[in-house]
Amino acid sequence: AESQQPNCNISFKHNRNNNNKPNSFARRQKILEHRKSLPIASVERRLVEVVQENDVLIIVGETGSGKTTQIPQYLFDSGFCHDGKTIGVTQPRRVAAVTVAKRVAEECGVELGQKVGYSIRFEDVTSSSTRIKYMTDGLLLREALLDPYLSRYSVIVVDEAHERTVHTDVLLGLLKRVQNVRSNYIKDQTSVGHKRASNGAILEKENADPCIGVLKQCQGRNLSPLKLIIMSASLDAHVFSKYFGGAKAVRVLGRQFPVDVFYTVDPQTDYLDSAIVTIFQIHSEEAPGDILVFLTGQEEIESVEKQIHENLQRLPEDKRNMKTVTIFSSLPSEQQMRVFAPAPAGFRKVILATNIAETSVTIPGIKYVVDPGVVKARSYDPVKGMESLIIVPTSKAQAIQRSGRAGREGPGKCFRLYPESEFEKLEDSTKPEIKRCNLSNVILQLKALGVDDIFGFDFIEKPSRAAIKKSLEELLLLGALTDEFKLSDPVGRQMARLPLDPVYSKALILASQFKCLDEMLIAVAMLSVESIFYEPREKLDEARTAKKCFASSEGDHLTLINVYRTSIELLEKRKSEVGKDKAEKVMRKWCKENFINSRSLRHARDIHSQIRRLVEQIGLCISSCGDDTLQFRRCLAAAFFLNAALKQPDGTYRALASGEVVQIHPTSVLFRTKADCIIFNEFVKTTNKVSPPLLCQAGVAVFIGVLTAKDIDCGFASASRYLLFAFEIRGHDEIIPTMEFKKQSSVLLE
Ligand code: ADP
Ligand code: MG
């Protein structure tokens, strides 16, 4: 017993000192030093003063200077969270909201979700004690539905405003109003002591701006003025300043080392191949330092990662000292922090990122940037009502931001995968998203916030009339708006409460009525994630055979449901047999064997449980249609009828809304079958001018003939009217392809 005693003591002491976290003291010390060394730290006092002096402040600062992580902490420390109020910081991207919140919680030495937390769609890590809250701009817009004056916030920081996402733009408009209401309310409260007179004044204001609506609600709400801070990485602060009536703008200087920019000599045909070659070239020829590679999405990132690993296997053992990490929006949040971990000693870290890493997230250690010069962006044709994601060249401003990432800690190099002459042809800056997207979602939200006059809304940059009109029309057809363009009750109101694209919300509401919500929930969750199936080039046949096991002749939606159900069944069974962790491992193996992306599938499961909770909250009832899929397909048709396409005599399809000739995507289970009428969820523009645009995720729609008068009564009215109209015009269309063929062949003969 004697000899055991000291051992016991030593071990006890060891535990207590480290508080179960190895080196936690040293780590805190390091973080403190890091915070003090940031460029922004030297101007902390001055920054807090200008915030105190100005209700709206624009802060421009180089990326990595410490704006996002430090400013909210400075404000907290100077008492901006009095009376239990919160500092809200919005980000255009979920990943940024999550990683920054985690970092700041660590810097503050608190548990995430307590003083510092984040909230993004489908994930809320906050509590009543949260005082610094990071969130997406879209989420704050949703919060306004429940709390129109955002009364819990004393400060709202709109970060990354230069990105000009549609949510940022709408949020700025909303915040301008909220700030007005709140300061008017304070004035009324303080200037007139008499309660009656004060009420009178408030009522007058309400009449003056009926859109703002129920000012009376403010009574007794303890509203304080709202501070607004707009942060941007680019220098054109004047746009924001002008919008906020000449608001003050300040600039925070960062540290930037010189970056040498290189261009390819020749134009590149395949930027993914070129990126891989460049990565290995840097690895073998350049000094140590991490590489940041900009790619356009999850699929590209995963395929490049795989290729890198394969190439590494072919290198001699001593050259394999390269480690890849990835970051993109649909990466599960527990994996997102991995990009910040330094590579093992002697290894080079290669970060494969979407343009998340352009300004929102700063990863230490980068010395080389590989920039293919492209980005995935939304594009919208208001005449055709078609929105699509396309890969487009970056702007000059983006290219410059990207190269700047190589020079944060020392001189760096940026390799642009295009010739220098191409750079000159790039646009100076990116067009705001509000000018190139479908507006149905934001219009629905504005309506729900009481903004009835969309054309008159004070946007920082007005979307085109055509785009607004098209979206109002779409919402009307979906039944979200009444004939007077007011939000309908309950459908419009329910749709506004769901954080989904209006057509998806509509699909869920219909499915609840037609007793197939169980199926629709799965379909919506699976459609909300990127690429469930993957088809590696070298194993194409195997992958397609595997997919056949799940394929439904009725389309991709039901195929996805089959995958989901099969996987859940397996998971539950294994869980009861071997426990949760092992079951997840079995799942990953199963996914691999079936060429299913296990990351995406897990993500879909999370989303499914979140949407399920939400639909229950708004009172929809969940039941399954079993094998009788007719009702399900009817609901699909009734929700997605604007995305219907009809088969043409020549075997191609014609999208009804746009009249565009389209093809079914080769990955769709309907690729070879020739259903007469289909609906689709995704529209991909091909770069190849000869072949028509492709449709993804198609499902067979029900014929108009199948719909009875009863269906029409039950809410299929607009869908069926629409499809009927479409069928009528089909007769005329049949002549057109023949004429086109003639013309083609005569050209060919010459
Ligand atoms: P800005 O908003 O001005 O671009 P940030 O506040 O995001 O700057 O970042 C400030 C610094 O904090 C950067 O040097 C960045 O590398 C560092 N940083 C941010 N998040 C992390 C993290 N999770 N791990 C390590 N360093 C981080
Ligand atoms: Mg930032």
Q: DSSP string covering 355-385, please?
A: THHHHT---TTEEEEEE-SEEEEEEEETTTT
Contact 638, 479 (CB under 8 A): no
Contact 191, 202 (CB under 8 A): no
Q: What's the DSSP call for residue 579?
A: -
Ligand 1 in reach of 398 Cβ (< 6 A):
no
CA pair distance 441, 453, nearest whole angstrom = 15
Q: Which two tokens stand for residue 377?
A: 């962006």
pLDDT value of position 672: 80
Q: Which two tokens stand for residue 29?
A: 């010390």
Low-confidence winner among 279-283, 518-522, 577-581 (lowest mean pLDDT): 577-581
Mean pLDDT score, 125-135:
97
pLDDT value of position 530: 77
Report the percentage of the chain scoring pLDDT > 70. 83
DSSP, collapsed to helix, strand or coil, labels residue 159 as coil
Nearest CA to ligand 1 atom 13: 64
pLDDT above 50 (res 705): no
46: confidence class by pLDDT, cuts 50, 70, 90: very high
634: confidence class by pLDDT, cuts 50, 70, 90: confident
DSSP, collapsed to helix, strand or coil, labels residue 133 as strand
Q: Which ipTM was obtained for this model? A: 0.98
60: confidence class by pLDDT, cuts 50, 70, 90: very high
| 687 vs 346, higher pLDDT | 346
| Digit-coded pLDDT (tens) for 476-486 | 888 899 888 99
Q: Report the nearest atom of ligand 1 relative to the CA of 63.
A: 4
Q: Show Cβ contacts of residue 517 under 8 Å, excluding neighbours closer than 6 positions.
A: 508, 511, 615, 620, 621, 622, 623
CA 109 to chain centre: 29
Q: Report the nearest atom of ligand 1 relative to the CA of 360.
A: 4
156 CA to centre of ligand 2 in angstroms: 15
Among candidates 461, 402, 392, which has minimal Cα distance to 427? 392
231 CA to centre of ligand 2 in angstroms: 8
670 CA to centre of ligand 1 in angstroms: 46
pLDDT value of position 660: 81
Contact 337, 104 (CB under 8 A): no
CA pair distance 638, 358, nearest whole angstrom = 40
Q: How many CB atoms lie within 10 A of CB 68?
A: 28
Q: Look up the pTM and report it.
A: 0.83
Q: Report the nearest atom of ligand 1 relative to the CA of 408.
A: 14
CA pair distance 361, 233, nearest whole angstrom = 12
Q: Report the nearest atom of ligand 1 relative to the CA of 69.
A: 6
| Digit-coded pLDDT (tens) for 453-497 | 999 999 999 999 999 998 998 898 888 998 889 999 999 999 999
Contact 738, 669 (CB under 8 A): no
pLDDT value of position 197: 37
Q: Which residues surround ligand 2, an ion (CB under 5 A)?
A: 67-68
160 CA to centre of ligand 2 in angstroms: 7
pLDDT value of position 725: 46
Ligand 1 site-directed mutation target among 35, 62, 69, 351, most atoms within 8 Å of CB: 69
Of all ligands present, the nearest one to the C-alpha of 163 is 2
Q: Which two tokens stand for residue 542?
A: 């195997």
608 CA to centre of ligand 1 in angstroms: 32
| 682 vs 721, higher pLDDT | 682
